[in-house]
Structure 1
Amino acid sequence: MADAPKVSRPMKFPYTFSAKLAQFPWKYHLKNQWLWKYYAISVVVCIPIFKSISNLANSPANVAKWAEIRRREAEEHHH
């Protein structure tokens, strides 16, 4: 493996998906497109919000309330 010759030039047209990924100008797009910067900022801002919503939805009181509602609903359907 270490003795393998290096590729001297990229393919004129990358046929495989991995070759397309390897030749894609990632650095240029990350540096010059606003979408990537704002995507990263939005992920950082939204993680605490989603975590607090998840904690509220999965609290023991809410889980018990949900189970009771479903139990009553199932009881109504069986009678």
Structure 2
Amino acid sequence: MADAAPKRHMKYPYTFTAKIVQFPWKYYWKHSWLTRYFFYANFITMPIFYKIGKLSHNPANVERWREIDRKTFSGELH
């Protein structure tokens, strides 16, 4: 029974993990609209930002911007 979790909390949670465990997540979820909306907004927008990232790192787009940077920094556009 040596690997059983202790039943009492620390007086002050020193480690980051202990701080996360002792944080009142349920209270903030129930009483704070900002916490819920922040979670929902992140969940909804993650696929959108993933698609934008995939499009911006497309090889054709990277080559296009490499050419634009070459022209800009070589002085062709001045």
Q: Please state which band the TM-score falls in when normalised by the shorter chain.
A: 0.5 to 0.7
Q: Percent identity, aligned pairs only?
A: 40
User: What root-mean-square deviation, in Å, do the aligned CA atoms of Structure 1 and Structure 2 show?
Assistant: 3.0
Which aligned segments of 4 or more residues in structure 1 are displaced greater than 4 angstroms?
20-24
CA pair 50-24 structure 1, distance change in 2 beyond 3 A: closer
Deviation per CA, 1:41-77, whole angstroms, max 9, x where unpaired? 1111100110111111111111000001111122217
Q: Which structure 2 segments of 5+ residues have no match? A: 1-8
Query: Which structure would you say has the larger Rg?
Result: 1
Q: Which structure 1 segments of 5+ residues have no match? A: 1-9
**TM-score normalised by length of structure 1:** 0.61
CA pair 42-73 structure 1, distance change in 2 beyond 3 A: same
**TM-score normalised by length of structure 2:** 0.61
Partner Cα distance (1:23, 1:47) in 2: 28
CA pair 24-60 structure 1, distance change in 2 beyond 3 A: closer
Partner Cα distance (1:22, 1:67) in 2: 47
The letter of the residue matching 2:73 is A
